[in-house]
């Protein structure tokens, strides 16, 4: 698994460098965003891309039908290159790595906020504002509801978790009482 992640990052870095050098970052990013969305919405397309029994010729024909003239020429050539190298199955990981590189360049930090109940617009704004101040970056927050938290919320930033949930506070109190 780690090897495929490394491989995907190498391909993403190559595409990223080309997009920067050719001043085509925005159209390439848009194409990859649409592709990742399409992969998420279409299990048939995802299965087609993952299927090792599909020949390179079949992949190339399908790519031409779906993307030729509709995507940036660099994106289309890159997809064909991946098909020729039998790496089209890494498209999801490549797209995610590309997005992460572009987000770093733009100073964007993506976070996930899980709250016990739906937060108000004001609460969402306050959380995002504090995170932007804390990390000195533009924050894009994905808000979710997790009733298991009982109250409060958790913020996921990369590999870090900031836990302000009632569940954790109760667990901490329980441990203090037991160990007192």
In 3-state terms, what secondary structure has residue 128?
Answer: helix
162 shares its domain with 77: no
Share of the chain above pLDDT 70, in %: 99
Q: What is the extent of the structural domain holding 100?
A: 2-104
Structure tokens at 158: 């990369």
Predicted confidence at residue 3, as pLDDT, reads 79
CATH code for the domain in which residue 87 is found: 1.10.520.20
Backbone angles phi, psi at 153, to 5 degrees: -160, 165
**Please, are residues 83 and 56 in contact by the beta-carbon 8 Å criterion?**
yes
In 3-state terms, what secondary structure has residue 137?
Answer: coil
1 pLDDT above the threshold of 60: no
**What is the tens place of the pLDDT at every residue in 121-166?**
999 999 999 999 999 999 999 999 998 888 889 999 988 999 988 8
Among the candidates 43, 76, 104, a domain finishes at: 104
48 pLDDT above the threshold of 90: no
23 shares its domain with 77: yes
115 shares its domain with 175: yes
The burial of 128, by beta-carbon neighbours within 10 Å (0-12 exposed, 13-18 middle, 19 or more buried), is given as: middle
**What is the tens place of the pLDDT at every residue in 53-74?**
888 999 999 889 888 889 999 9
Largest CA distance in the chain: 70
For residues 89 and 164, what is the distance between their CA atoms, to the nearest angstrom?
Answer: 38
């Amino acid at each position: 698994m780690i090897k495929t992640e490394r491989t995907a990052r190498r391909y993403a870095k190559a595409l990223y460098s080309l997009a920067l050098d050719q001043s085509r970052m925005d159209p390439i990013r848009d194409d990859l965003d649409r592709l990742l969305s399409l992969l998420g919405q279409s299990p048939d397309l995802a299965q087609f891309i993952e299927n090792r029994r599909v020949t390179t010729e079949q992949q190339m024909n399908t790519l031409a039908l779906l993307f030729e003239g509709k995507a940036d020429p660099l994106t289309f050539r890159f997809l064909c290159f991946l098909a020729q190298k039998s790496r089209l199955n890494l498209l999801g990981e490549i797209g995610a790595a590309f997005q992460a590189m572009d987000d770093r360049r733009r100073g964007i930090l993506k976070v996930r906020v899980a709250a016990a109940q739906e937060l108000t617009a004001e609460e969402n704004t306050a959380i995002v504002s504090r995170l932007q101040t804390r990390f000195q970056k533009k924050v894009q927050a994905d808000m979710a509801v997790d009733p298991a938290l009982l109250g409060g919320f958790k913020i996921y930033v990369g590999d870090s978790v900031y836990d302000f949930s009632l569940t954790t506070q109760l667990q901490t109190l329980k441990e203090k009482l037991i160990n007192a």
